Chain A
Amino acid sequence: MSNEVELIKDPGLPAHVHRRADTDPKAAARAEQQVAILFVLSAIGTLLLIYSYIFIKDDKFIFIPVLGNTNLHQLGLGMGMAIALFCIGAGLIHWAKTLMPDEEVIAHRHEFRSEDEDREEFVKTVKAGASAAGLGRRPLIKRTLGAALGLSALTPLLLLRDLGPLPKDDLTKTSWKKGTRLVTDPGDRPIRPEDLEVGAVAQTLPELAEGEERTLNNIGKDAVLLIRLRPEEFNLDAERLSWTHEGIIAFSKICSHMGCAVALYEQQTKHLLCPCHQSTFDVTRAAKVIFGPAARPLPQLNITVDEEGYLVAGAPFTEPVGPSFWERSS
């Protein structure tokens, strides 16, 4: 058997098949009409848009199956625009397909590689240019230029320094101090232990001093969730148990994973769930992580009551709240 294997041959470009519109003037006229109809439809679309803009008030609603009770102004504008644009496009394409030449054309490709001669010339030119500049012969210039360029790259870095302050203790400190009252969010009302039934939760923030404004930055660190359980349901060590008050336990609401507000409290299982990444924390065991990507429990806030019987922080948070960062020590 010979090694010469004969491959199947390229039969070449198939013969051109004429369209109906190429041979039948009637078909061509029909195609022309179709294109024109599409353009007229487009014009009607724009008219619909103009009509909706001027005459349909934006408080008019109409019931449309699938969509529901829909704003007619918005729908009229949008559908007008959609019809106007789509039909121009469809008309153009139909025109191109049915009436413009449809014989396939062959163009030739050329290799991108330049001729060897040109490539050599190019290399020579570059070399000549480099030697004319004499970079290789004048190392002093080369080195000082390099150093200057390198140094100048520091400018943008330096100028961007004032984008923000240094973190200092901003990531580690919150507004909670010993004796800060817990107040409802929203509402800013102080809370007594007896205000919470077993199974109750309350979203709280630290009470503001006279004249103080609450910023989002504060809320982002200070938000605390109060939960009341039966005291016997806790499974805490003595220290953490002493941070609770009559079955009321307080956690930072800012997720220890990525900072979302963790507040999905399941009263029966005593689990807290973060809706962003589904980390699940067990409230009875000091918010220990039992599922999901979070690696640390939510920080617990030491709470007690003041002489007027309102719930207050017994001490500031003992660890930074929110997501981890490099300087965090535990």
Chain B
Amino acid sequence: MTARERIAGNVAGYVDDRTGAAKWMKKNLTKVFPDHWSFLLGEICLYSFVILLLSGTFLTFWFDPSQREVIYEGSYEPLSGLKMSAAYASTLDISFEVRGGLLMRQIHHWAALIFMVGIVVHLLRVYFTGAFRKPREFNWIIGVGLLTLGIVEGFLGYSLPDDLLSGTGIRIAEAIIQALPLVGSYIAFFAFGGAFPGEAFIPRIYTVHVLLLPGIFLALITVHLMLVWYQKHTQFPGPGRTEKNVVGYPLMPVYMAKAGGFFFIVFGVTAFLGAVASINPIWLYGPYTPGQISAGSQPDWYMGWLDGLVRMAPPIETHAFGHTISWNILIPGLILPGIMFTGLALYPFIESWATGDKREHHLLDRPRNTPNRTAIGAMALTFTIVSLLNGGNDIIATTFHLTINQMMWFSRIGVLVLPPLAFIITKRLCLSLQRADRDLVLHGRETGRLVRMPSGEFVEVHEPISPEKAWLLTSHEQLAPLELPELDGAGVRRPGALKNKLRNRISRATATAVPKATETERRELEGHH
């Protein structure tokens, strides 16, 4: 035993005497993680969150969250001598007087955008592969919560510098609050400490941005990771992979090096963006005043779809009994997002209700094998993308020589027509991919080699695929649709018949599939040749 090993042993012994950690550590250091690039998407979020904490802490050392009026005397000449809030002035100081301050600001903002992109692509991976199914529903809900909070946290951060763009964003947020029936103007006055913009809002959202929400994030992320750890990661289907095992690499040392290395990669890429690409150049926007506005005022992308929905809303307000309800704000700003996020959070339960599948699942689905789910995802995605495009309709219009009116009408119609279309196309695409899989298993791979038969006809030679590939293409389950009774023995409608009828219909739609190839069929075909 070398001296170094002895010291390490002593330290470990000291800790274990006091915590009994050795048993737990022994088990968990060899924990197995399956390897797939798409399993790293969640890590992108985790690491950019750490980057956000680090760079954000740096920024707080100089940022002054106050709307007190000051005269700018810093080194950026085009603003010199102007009246502005201390928040804006201190953000300018971070950018121009603190060495590396601008880099940190840009890293912080890029990390926030990457954080949100990471959450969305991670969510898409989890959704389309069915990783949210039992026993992982809790983690799905936590994930949806993190997405929602991420949007709020990002928006608050975007609002803090008190520049013209962020002030415009707050103005719109205030209008949404104010539009709430019954309590709107009261809540708005409480939130802003009086009329808009007041002098209270930035100090208040600062506390929420740097303390309250990061605290909630930390707690939720911890639970999210603990559940992943405890429930073990899902894996893609393949030879040797079952519902009962995990095939991958041990945490110590392979995954520690890989995951640790990936943290530095994410940080490096974020720093690279911060170095080469300007983001939120607040000195160009100028200080906020409600009398000014810039063409092309947009939110960050993760709010862009909301702004796009608000833009395309029909101009409807109800005036009755001395009161006003602004449907043009409430529907796109609160009701639709509310439905979307609730639907998202409840999706695992809706699906298991529709399929009647209450079993645990640790093997992931290939998206083509669940056409209904994939098509619903494509539909929701199309809806969001059309809204997002409309959020940037003015920039798109000037770039591609379109008119904002055309863009708006495209979005208004597209947001209704394109999602169902996406559903139909995706479902058909999935089914034809299933058919292709079936043909591949039964007839083998096309080699492109032509052979002339004795009879004179030309036949392309097909090569059988490997057993591994054949297993991958056929290992999925194909559930039969539910057949819940709608009538009782006497032919009379049972109580709850309507519900059963609905479930049967959804279940039939969900179970639509091209029957997968079997060994029996393969043999039969061989017999023919």
Contacts and interface: CB of A to CB of B under 8 A. Distances in A.
13 contacts: A86-B268, A97-B258, A164-B190, A164-B194, A170-B195, A216-B289, A223-B290, A260-B293, A278-B394, A292-B315, A295-B328, A324-B326, A329-B323
Interface string B393-407: 110000000001100
Contact of A276 (B172, B194, B254, B266): B172
Interface of B: 30-32, 96, 99-100, 102-103, 106-107, 135, 168, 171-172, 174-176, 178-186, 188-198, 200, 231-232, 239-240, 242-250, 253-255, 257-258, 260-269, 271-272, 274-276, 288-297, 307, 310-317, 319, 322-326, 328-329, 332, 360, 362, 393-394, 404-405, 408, 441, 467-468, 470-471, 474-475, 517-520, 522-523
A303 B197 CA distance: 27
Contacts of B311: 277-278, 292-293
Nearest to A163: B190
Interface stretch (A74-82, A127-135, A236-244, A307-315): A74-82
A205 B272 CA distance: 45
Interface stretch (A107-115, A175-183, A192-200): A107-115
Contacts, number: 328
A168 B323 CA distance: 15
Contact of A323 (B179, B288, B312): B179
B103 A106 contact: no
Contact of A108 (B244, B249, B292, B307): B244
A100 B265 CA distance: 19
Interface centre among A109, A203, A262, by most B CB within 10 Å? A109
A107 B239 contact: no
Query: Secondary structure of the A side of the interface?
Result: loop
Contact-residue bracket for chain A: 35 or more
B249 A105 contact: yes
Interface string A2-14: 0001111111111
A203 B362 CA distance: 64
B293 A276 contact: yes
A95 B254 CA distance: 9
Interface of A: 5-14, 53, 58, 67, 73-75, 77-79, 81-93, 95-97, 100-102, 104-109, 111-112, 160-161, 163-167, 170-171, 185, 203, 205, 216-217, 219-221, 223, 253-254, 257-264, 275-279, 289, 291-296, 322-330
Given A77-B275, A83-B268, A10 B261 contact: no
Given A58-B99, A79-B275, A163 B324 contact: no
Contact of A330 (B245, B319, B404, B519): B319
Contact of B312 (A105, A170, A293): A293
A323 B322 CA distance: 16
A113 to B, nearest CB: 8
A102 B254 contact: yes
Contacts of A264: 295
Given A90-B265, A258-B175, A275-B296, A324 B329 contact: yes
Contacts of B297: 260, 275-276
Contact of B474 (A8, A74, A97, A329): A8
A85 B268 contact: yes
B295 A275 contact: yes
B254 A14 contact: no
A207 to B, nearest CB: 15
A164 B272 contact: no
A8 B265 CA distance: 41
Contact of A326 (B168, B181, B276, B288): B181
